[in-house]
Amino acid sequence: MGLGITVTGVSGGGCTSIYTSLLDERVKFLAPVCCLSTHESIHFSDLYTSCPEQFGPGFIKHGIDYVDLIAIQAPKPCLIVAGQQDEVFDYQSTKRLYYEIEQIYKLYEAENNIGLYIQEDSGHAYTAGMANKVVQWMNRIIKKQNTEPLGISEKDMEIQPEHLLKCYPSSVVNMLTVNREEARKLKKSRTYPQGHYKVDYLIQKSMDILGLEKAEGFLYEVMEEENPPIRWAHQLQKVDIKIRDTRDTVHVPGLLYKRVKSSFGKIGDKKRAAMLFIDEEGKWKGFQHGGYLAKLGRFLEREDADCEPLIFSIDVSGLGELKPQPAAYDMAPWNDIERILTYLSISGGKPIMGLRVRDALCTLEYLRNRQDVDENRIIIAGRGVGAIVALHAALLYTGEIQKLILWDMLVNYQSMTEHFPFYWPQSIIIPDVLKYYDLEEVITSVRSREKLLINPLDAQRRIVSNKEAAKIYSDDDVKFFTECKEDEAIRIFVNHVLV
């Protein structure tokens, strides 16, 4: 230990060795293996799903790349190791990165402290040849001797039993338990200002961690389908909202359902309640085959009713029509296009959940400004992932909310630290959320006249019991129904709006 520590590892282990060396001054020599490229090469171009340790929240936003994590450690001795046949990290990209780092070491007059070893016949692996090269450097750096290593070959290498390779011999402490304890500590440590200041606090913190600069005043254009067909007494119109607040135009596709006639004739632009609905399965899901949105909209009913709302069902970023298409690397079982886009969005400072909330807020502006909408009777609702989006949109919406309906929503982010595995898509992750709030605290702070939860779900998408829900949603102005079968949940949803 007195001579100093060497850290080395391959792939995610190589990335971990870089962070360890960066943060611990006892490390005197670093040898990352098959883990260095550029975000542009491996992530933006190839869309390879690296493990999350490859990304830091806000790193890409602030221009921090792999090269910076090594260069900042100069003049600490470092040997970069790569395989010319690496199936993931392009060795040419690794070479370019090395040449950039070398320039920094030259400023310290420490060119001998940075090296590159590329094994021609190796893929994404830590080979015996690589190990021999690393030990050769260890002899020079740690032992201060220019001696050759004893040397090993592939046949000398023996894979240890799985139980010996685990971080802890005992499963009492592991990544799950560490995260669970941290989440419980954060829950106890969260404090809020009193009264309306709590709402202001939650609005500001949610905007910060969602990467939102504003909650209203969006620049957008609307493309509405011309002369949409009338089916019985209703119209289902395709509407495309183009948000121009970004470098590129963002499209939010939607279906606008409204009554255009009754048995008494045309009804004109009568102002009525309007619902924004976001379903994780897409904007069509609730309308198909007499679904819950068709029931809510009283499809096939000839007579109009004052309680019947206009319904705007939309696809927000990453859902429905906007769901990303798989990349070539998705043939590998560990690769997933939604996960890599989630990691990139968090590293870029604009998490996917923030983009979704932006889409919803812009759509609410559009709804509120329609001539046929009563702006004092806005209903915000969502199902599954869409319910989490709807909740945050309701918190940030500056207009009047008549009703908030959250169906099949994650009960809270805390539950994702309590159970493993979780069955929600990783795109719901909001970085640092548990430092500032959880979903139940947002629900109680939303300025809505009525708040309804139907079948809140835990991390494994099991319906939370009535007893557990009562402990979490203790506020009197939050009404909830749990353990409902699908037909009962639909009935509750429809009746809550229409009655």
pLDDT band at 157 (very low <50, low <70, confident <90, very high): confident
- Selection from 86, 80, 48 nearest residue 66 by Cα: 80
The predicted pLDDT at position 163 comes to: 79
Given a contact cutoff of 8 angstroms between Cβ atoms, the answer to whether 293 and 286 are in contact is: yes
In the predicted model, is pLDDT for residue 1 greater than 70?
no
Q: Is it true that 5-158 and 196-498 share their CATH fold?
A: yes
User: pLDDT grade, residue 105 (50/70/90)?
Assistant: very high
Q: What pLDDT was estimated at residue 265?
A: 64
* pLDDT surpasses 70 at 354: yes
pLDDT in tens, 66-84: 999 999 999 999 999 999 9
Q: How many CB atoms lie within 10 A of CB 45?
A: 12
Q: Is the pLDDT of residue 458 over 90?
A: yes
Token pair in block for residue 180: 């669970």
Q: Confidence class of residue 61 from pLDDT cuts 50, 70 and 90?
A: very high
Model-level pTM?
0.92
Residue with the two structure tokens 């998408």: 461
Whether 96 has a pLDDT exceeding 80, the answer reads yes
pLDDT, tens digit (0-9, with 9 covering 90-100), for 275-306 = 999 999 999 999 999 999 999 999 999 898 88
Distance separating alpha carbons of residues 267 and 391, to the nearest angstrom: 32
Would you state the structure tokens that stand for residue 258, as one six-digit string? 């409204």
Q: In this model, does residue 167 exceed pLDDT 60?
A: yes
Confidence band, pLDDT 50/70/90 cuts, at residue 149: confident
Average pLDDT for residues 384-409, to the nearest whole number?
A: 97
In the chain, what percentage of residues exceed pLDDT 70?
Answer: 97
Return the pLDDT at 389: 99
5-158 is a CATH 3.40.50.1820 domain:
yes
State residue 264's pLDDT score: 67
Helix axis angle, 385-396 to 196-210, nearest 10°: 120
Question: What is the share, in percent, of the chain residues with pLDDT greater than 90?
Answer: 80
For residue 110, the number of C-alpha atoms closer than 13 Å in the C-beta half-sphere is 16
**Torsion angle of alpha carbons 58, 61, 65, 68, nearest 10°?**
-80
Domain extents in the chain: 5-158, 196-498
Pick the range with the lowest mean pLDDT from 8-17, 45-54, 74-83. 45-54
Mean pLDDT of 186-191: 96
pLDDT higher than 90, residue 162: no
Q: Token pair for residue 284?
A: 């069509």
Backbone torsion region of residue 128, taken as left when φ is above 0, otherwise alpha when ψ lies between -120 and 50, otherwise beta: alpha
Q: What is the pLDDT of residues 233-280, one digit of tens each?
A: 999 999 999 998 767 789 999 999 999 988 766 676 689 999 999 999
**Is the preceding peptide bond at 421 cis, omega within 30 degrees of 0?**
yes
Largest CA distance in the chain: 97
Q: Range with the lowest mean pLDDT among 159-173, 207-221, 392-406?
A: 159-173
The pLDDT, as a whole number, for residue 197 is 93
Question: How much is the pLDDT for 160?
Answer: 84
In this prediction, residue 169 carries a pLDDT of 57
Instruction: Locate 395 and state its tokens.
Output: 């918190």
Q: How far apart are CA 61 and CA 345, in angstroms?
A: 9
- What is residue 87's predicted lDDT score, i.e. its pLDDT? 93
Cα distance from N-terminal residue to C-terminal residue, the chain = 73
Confidence (pLDDT) at 102: 97
What is the bridge-based pairing of β-strands 220-224 and 234-243? antiparallel
Check pLDDT > 90 for residue 51. Answer: no
* Model pLDDT for residues 27-39, shown as the tens digit of each residue: 999 999 999 998 9
Position 3 scores a pLDDT of 79
Give the integer Cα–Cα distance in Å for 25 and 308: 67
At residue 262, the pLDDT reads: 80
Instruction: Compute the chain's Rg from CA coordinates.
Output: 28
Fold entry, domain 196-498: Rossmann fold (3.40.50)
Beta bridge partners of 317: none
Q: How far apart are CA 126 and CA 21, in angstroms?
A: 19
The mean pLDDT value for 198-217 works out to 94
pLDDT of res. 6: 96
